[in-house]
Amino acid sequence: MANSKFKLGSIENPVKFEDQDYKSLRDASLKSGSLFCDTTFLADQSSIGMPEDPNPDNEVTWLRPKEICDNAVFVEGTTGTTDICQGQLGNCWLLAALSCLTMHPKLFAKVVPSEQRLTDGYAGIFHFRFWQYGEWVEVVVDDRLPVRAGRLLFSYSRSKNEFWSALVEKAYAKLMGYYSSLKGGNISEGMEDFTGGIAYSQLVSAYKPPVLWRQLTAALSRGTLLSCFIQAKTWREIGTVTPEGLVRGHAYAITDTDKVLKDSTEVLLVRLRNPWGFVEYRGPWSDKCKDWEKIDKAEIERLELKKVEDGEFWIAVEAFSSFFDLVELCSVKPDSLSSSTDPAASWSLTEYEGSWVPGCSAGGSRRYRRSFWKNPHFQLSLTAADVEKEEDEEDEEDDDDEDDAKAGGAALSAAAQKQKEKGKKCTLLVELMQRDRRSQRKVRFLYIAFHIYKVENHVGSLNQAFFSSRKPVGRSGKYQGMRGVYKRVLLEPGNYVIVPSTYRPNQPGDFFLRIYAKTGNTLGHEEFTCSTNFLMTVMSNPPLPEDQIRVDNWFDQEDASDDRLDAAAFMRLVNSVLEKDYHLPLETCRQLVLGQDTKGKARLDRTQALKLVTSLRNLQSTFLEHDEDSSGTMSPFELTEALNASGIECDSEVVKVLWERFGSGEIHLPFHGFVSCVTRLRALHELYESESPEQKKQGLNTWLLRLLAL
């Protein structure tokens, strides 16, 4: 295949969504003479994802472009920022990003392959490419579009016979699950999915108008996608129009900057686009403002001023600064995200995928100190042949740290202060994204953040004590309910761990973490001396006198001919010793019996029974101690600590498999499950110790993970 030389997931060899191959499907349709109909994204209400309107006057039909317009075309002339108009779907964030994309032909061609037409070779099928968490994905759609009362229901072009934007919207809706999944969002999502770049936000109020204008101008010259936003104070304000003609809670694309002379005074201008395709700014320097009468006609032509209601308009930067709250930027190349002026700078990229599993690896924020350490963490080694001196960005107060708040929001840890003094840093660009949240019926982003800890001269596991005794040397800032959080971080060479987390514990979710480092720095995952391994201490407690008496009495009572107890008899013995709520079922007792050397008889002698009774009483005490809410069950967070107290220290991957094996997917583990965990781990440890050196080469953790699932 022609694409085999390219990595799967690259723009040249994208992942095929739903395993649909565009060329094969198109050729099959052309050969059969029938137009393509997509069976994976049906032309009915299920793809819209909203209840059907019972009013027959609002019936939705699905038509192909040539059924809507006789002279339908995919693209009329060239694409531009005014091609896209928002329909009856609250996805201005997506369309604003798409407007920005039209200004960059090379980027646009990545998303919208240029060979597509509604004429030659037309088969009713189109394909588009979107970036998704480190990979480019190709999405195939047919061209049946939802129509109501003769008009496209959703996105449309100002040129009524042009359909590329409506088809891009359909492909993106298919990728996300439904059209309704596109309701509400941040422009950064769309900009990242159209480019693979990193998007971040910037407060307008942080800069004086001339400085802001220079920054916007420089960003546009670097190919950065820009958009802006007016914050709505309440949900009722969203979509309302200000006296100046600006829409609150609405995304605008920033399409250009320029300057003109008025009465010998330089006026700095910003050009914006409202995705609605109408409703424009009515203040100074708007399309029909008299200010333009004092500007040379050649300048007006150069600026391509159009006095039509197309959603695009100019605004002075001072007015822009007073009306708008936030600018969102998406840089395709990391260079524009760093303050370094080195034109030869290049970057290496490291990517990770992970999950927050409730009760297991969803530890919540630093506010939840007993569980924060259970969050996934990624070890990084950073060495630099060429470090640079840069000013630290202002560090945000970490709103999940109660101790910091009590201390008046102390900004940085002692380690970070030392870094400032030294001044020599390596630049990291870190972004944490939560995956696939839009594919759910109701879009709801978790509040997420990441923290970075220095691992220096630390021996032992990265456990609760480690994270409780240290403060992060870098972090994304306050927890935000957005798809992604980003931060430029300056760090000394050394070993670190990055901990992504949700604000509250036990919130399920998948995430994608990407880290850029300047080439010359070695950025990678390494096993430090502090990495957690499986450790076991065989704890032998002498039997209590009352246990000896109880076991002897039980054996005498059973009157077994060979002075041994089978699993059922042992169950009765154990449950007479343990508290009622912690009785063991027969299967667990059978497991305990088979774990002993019974010479093939599956029956316990007095010594073995006494040993197990003592062990179970100790395990019950441990369980009670770590069952903090006295529920009679424990979470995986509590399980880890209880295992440690029992002499077994496991890493998070082993605990996950244990939970799947003995917790049956439930959020709480009963006492008999805890007993099974300990029994299985001890038996496997003994088995591993008896293995040959050749078998042990894979390491204990790998060996355990393979056998625990059996």
Local confidence band at 528 (pLDDT 50, 70, 90 cut-offs): very low
Whether residue 278 sits in one domain with residue 425: no
Local confidence band at 99 (pLDDT 50, 70, 90 cut-offs): confident
In this prediction, residues 592-602 reach a mean pLDDT of 84
pLDDT of residue 339: 53
Instruction: Report CA 682 to chain centroid distance, whole Å.
Output: 37
The contacts found for 242-246 with CB under 8 angstroms, 24 or more apart, are 242/323, 243/282, 244/281, 244/282, 244/283, 244/319, 244/323, 245/279, 245/280, 245/281, 245/282, 245/283, 245/286, 246/281, 246/323
pLDDT higher for 269 or 404? 269
Q: Is the pLDDT of residue 690 over 50?
A: yes
Asked whether residue 56 is assigned to any structural domain, the reply reads: yes
Asked whether residue 338 is assigned to any structural domain, the reply reads: no
pLDDT higher for 667 or 553? 553
pLDDT of residue 709: 65
> What tens digit of pLDDT does each residue of 134-148 get?
999 999 999 999 999
Q: Which H or E run contains 368? A: none
> What tens digit of pLDDT does each residue of 1-51 get?
455 678 999 999 999 999 999 999 999 999 999 999 999 999 999 999 888
The residue whose two tokens read 């699905």 is 62
Whether residue 230 sits in one domain with residue 110: no
Whether residue 364 sits in one domain with residue 226: no
Q: Looking at 531, 559, 594, which one is the last position of a domain? A: 531
Measured CA angle at 116 (ends 115, 119), to 5 deg: 115
pLDDT of residue 599: 80
Q: 3-class DSSP state for residue 47?
A: helix
Q: Is the pLDDT of residue 530 over 50?
A: no
pLDDT of residue 465: 83
Asked whether residue 153 is assigned to any structural domain, the reply reads: yes
pLDDT of residue 533: 52
pLDDT of residue 118: 92
The DSSP string of 398-413 is -TT-HHHHHTT---S-
pLDDT of residue 60: 92
Local confidence band at 242 (pLDDT 50, 70, 90 cut-offs): confident
Whether residue 544 sits in one domain with residue 524: no
Query: Domain with 693 in it: what CATH number?
Result: 1.10.238.10
Which residue from 422, 495, 491, 417 is spatially nearest to 456, judged by alpha carbons?
495
Sequence-ordered list of residues with C-beta below 8 angstroms from that of 404, at least 6 positions apart, any chain: 397, 398, 410, 471
Local confidence band at 704 (pLDDT 50, 70, 90 cut-offs): confident
Asked whether residue 46 is assigned to any structural domain, the reply reads: yes
In this prediction, residues 57-69 reach a mean pLDDT of 92
Whether residue 240 sits in one domain with residue 283: yes
Asked whether residue 690 is assigned to any structural domain, the reply reads: yes
Local confidence band at 442 (pLDDT 50, 70, 90 cut-offs): low
Q: Is the pLDDT of residue 194 over 80?
A: yes
Whether residue 316 sits in one domain with residue 203: yes
**Enclosing domain of residue 457:** 345-531
Which phi-psi region, left, alpha or beta, contains residue 381 (left: φ > 0; alpha: ψ -120 to 50)? beta
Which residue from 138, 130, 124 is spatially nearest to 65, judged by alpha carbons?
124
Q: Looking at 140, 165, 193, which one is the last position of a domain? A: 193
pLDDT of residue 539: 56
The residues carrying an active-site annotation are 92, 250, 274
Local confidence band at 591 (pLDDT 50, 70, 90 cut-offs): confident
pLDDT of residue 268: 95
Contact (Cβ atoms closer than 8 angstroms) between residue 650 and residue 643: yes
d(CA 148, CA 127): 24
Q: What is the DSSP letter of 565?
A: B
Asked whether residue 599 is assigned to any structural domain, the reply reads: yes
Whether residue 497 sits in one domain with residue 449: yes
For the entire predicted model, the pTM comes to 0.74
Q: Which two tokens stand for residue 564?
A: 């041994």
Q: What percentage of the chain reaches a pLDDT higher than 70?
A: 84
d(CA 692, CA 167): 61
Whether residue 482 sits in one domain with residue 461: yes
Asked whether residue 339 is assigned to any structural domain, the reply reads: no
Q: What is the 3-state secondary structure (H, E, C) of 668-709?
A: CEEHHHHHHHHHHHHHHHHHHHCCCCCHHHHCHHHHHHHHHC
> What tens digit of pLDDT does each residue of 554-581 get?
887 776 667 888 899 899 998 988 887 8
Whether residue 509 sits in one domain with residue 366: yes
Q: Is the pLDDT of residue 410 over 50?
A: no
Asked whether residue 340 is assigned to any structural domain, the reply reads: no
Q: Is the pLDDT of residue 161 over 90?
A: no
Q: Which two tokens stand for residue 417?
A: 């202060």
Local confidence band at 532 (pLDDT 50, 70, 90 cut-offs): very low
Q: Is the pLDDT of residue 684 over 90?
A: no
Local confidence band at 503 (pLDDT 50, 70, 90 cut-offs): very high
> What tens digit of pLDDT does each residue of 290-320 get?
888 888 788 888 887 776 666 788 999 999 9
Q: Is the pLDDT of residue 695 over 80?
A: no
Count the domains in the chain.
4
Q: Give φ, ψ of 446 to 5 degrees.
A: -75, 160
Q: Is the pLDDT of residue 227 over 50?
A: yes
In this prediction, residues 358-383 reach a mean pLDDT of 86
Q: Looking at 531, 547, 579, which one is the last position of a domain? A: 531
Q: Is the pLDDT of residue 174 over 90?
A: yes
From residue 627, how far is each of 143, 360, 615, 634 by CA, in Å?
58, 15, 18, 6
> Of 26-35, 273-282, 336-345, which range is least confident?
336-345
pLDDT of residue 409: 39
pLDDT higher for 26 or 390? 26
Whether residue 129 sits in one domain with residue 53: yes
Whether residue 322 sits in one domain with residue 270: yes
When the pLDDT of each residue in the chain is averaged and rounded to a whole number, the result is: 82
Query: Domain with 273 in it: what CATH number?
Result: 3.90.70.10
Whether residue 452 sits in one domain with residue 553: no
> What tens digit of pLDDT does each residue of 631-665 get?
778 877 777 778 877 777 776 677 777 777 776 65
